[in-house]
Structure 1
Amino acid sequence: MKPQDIMKEKSNLWIFGYGSLVWKPGFAYKRSNIGHIKGYKRRFWHGDDFYRGDKEKPGRVVTLVEDEEACTWGVAYEVTDCQIEESLQYLNMREVVLGGYITQMVEFIPKEKSQGPLLALIYIATSNNPIYLGPASDMEIAAQIAICRGSTGHNIEYLVRLAEFMRLSCPEVEDEHLFSIEAAVQNIISDCGGIKPPDQKPMLLGAT
């Protein structure tokens, strides 16, 4: 189902971001809320051959994997009126056409206790996607992230920005998968004296 079909006759929409959308939504919105969704875990199992990698060396970015015991933290953005169509058109290109994601509606629970649950749109890359990479060890994922870059920058930047968001916005949450990969990349950088992409200065973990 297309996002536009979901939102017929709606005056507002919440869009939940759990990857690059947490720091770069790329569309106009009315307000945002930090919070989480249940029943999904965030995993670096999706390939990216455009934004954070290329055809020869696809990067690793996050998707959601169903898990009844898990929850995933991120940011929900409220879009209203004309913002709805504009944001969906933008995300259809960014996430669906180029990223291979599908859409679903889920319950979003704001971190702010004074607000109740909201229905939010999410984008998920499944194993049916041609560039889906699937499970791998933390070291294997880190090794791939350390050498990949795409049209919007190095794959390490994507990892670092996501880890920084979690530490700053959700300090009480221990995202084991994310932080383990971050630590593994840190070890690779330390061993190599810094990752140096073509025509770039050495990249240090924590640089943005």
Structure 2
Amino acid sequence: MKPQDIIAGKSSLWIFGYGSLVWKPDFKHKRSHVGFIRGYKRLFWHGDTFHRGSDEMPGRVVTLLEEDDACTWGVAFEVTGSQIEESLAYLNIREAVRGGYGTRMVEFIPRDESQPSVQALVYIATEDNPTYLGPASTDEIAAQIAVCKGKTGYNIEYLLRLAEFMRQSCPEVDDTHLFSIEKACLAIFKPLLLAAQHRVTA
């Protein structure tokens, strides 16, 4: 589905972010809401050779996998007027060209129950993408994230920022996949931090 087909005749569009968009949308928007979509699970199954990794060492970033009983929390941004074309032009480069993501429309349900649900555009990378990595163990994913870096920054920063968003914005939600990878990744760095502290105090 092409974004141009989705926005035909629209004066307003909602865009749902569940990865780096939750803390760094980098496009103008009218308003935003924290909330979730049903039927999708967020997983660190997509490879990133630009933002958080390289061709030699692809990073691991999130995509969505359809799963009936799952839900994924994130942020939906409403863009209106000229913001629609501007945001989609920007996201086409960031998510599609450099990230390999395609688009779908999903129902977004705000955390604030006084707000109505809306149809939102979401970017998803599927297994037919050449940089798609697929499943791996928690320790394998953590080990990969711990050493990768791209033009936007370190892969571990991406992981920690996403975990921080979940704890601050929806603390009652236990994202087992995300938090288990965070725990495994921090365990990799703990001996290094302890060694550095020892050198400082020695």
Provide TM-score, normalisation by structure 2. Answer: 0.95
2:117 paired with 1:117: yes
Alignment partner, residue 134 of structure 1? 134
Alignment partner, residue 54 of structure 2? 54
Q: How many residues align?
A: 195
Write the deviation string for residues 70-129 of structure 1: whole angstroms up to 9, x where unpaired. 000000000000000000000001000111101000000000010121100000000000
**Shift in Å at residue 193 of structure 1?**
3.5
Alignment partner, residue 179 of structure 1? 179
Alignment partner, residue 42 of structure 1? 42
Q: Distance in 2 between matches of 1:104 and 1:157?
A: 27
Q: Distance in 1 between matches of 2:192 and 2:3?
A: 44
- Mapping 1:1-208, distance limit 5 Å: 1-193=1-193
Q: Secondary structure at the match of 1:79?
A: strand
Q: Which has the higher helix share?
A: 2
Q: Secondary structure at the match of 1:149?
A: coil
AA matched with 2:40: Y
AA matched with 1:134: G
**Shift in Å at residue 2 of structure 1?**
1.3
Q: Distance in 1 between matches of 2:16 and 2:104?
A: 10
AA matched with 1:79: V
Alignment partner, residue 198 of structure 1? none
Q: Distance in 1 between matches of 2:92 and 2:98?
A: 8
Q: Secondary structure at the match of 1:150?
A: coil
**Shift in Å at residue 191 of structure 1?**
2.9
Write the deviation string for residues 17-39 of structure 1: whole angstroms up to 9, x where unpaired. 00000000010000000000000
Write the deviation string for residues 159-178 of structure 1: whole angstroms up to 9, x where unpaired. 00000000000000000000
Q: Secondary structure at the match of 1:71?
A: strand
Provide TM-score, normalisation by structure 1. Answer: 0.92
AA matched with 1:33: H
Q: Distance in 2 between matches of 1:93 and 1:83?
A: 16
Q: Which runs of 4+ in 1 moved over 2 A?
A: 191-194
Alignment RMSD (CA, Å): 1.0
Write the deviation string for residues 15-71 of structure 1: whole angstroms up to 9, x where unpaired. 000000000001000000000000000000000000000000000000000000000
Q: Secondary structure at the match of 2:43?
A: strand
Higher CA-based Rg? 2
Q: Distance in 2 between matches of 1:193 and 1:78?
A: 41
Q: Distance in 2 between matches of 1:85 and 1:157?
A: 29
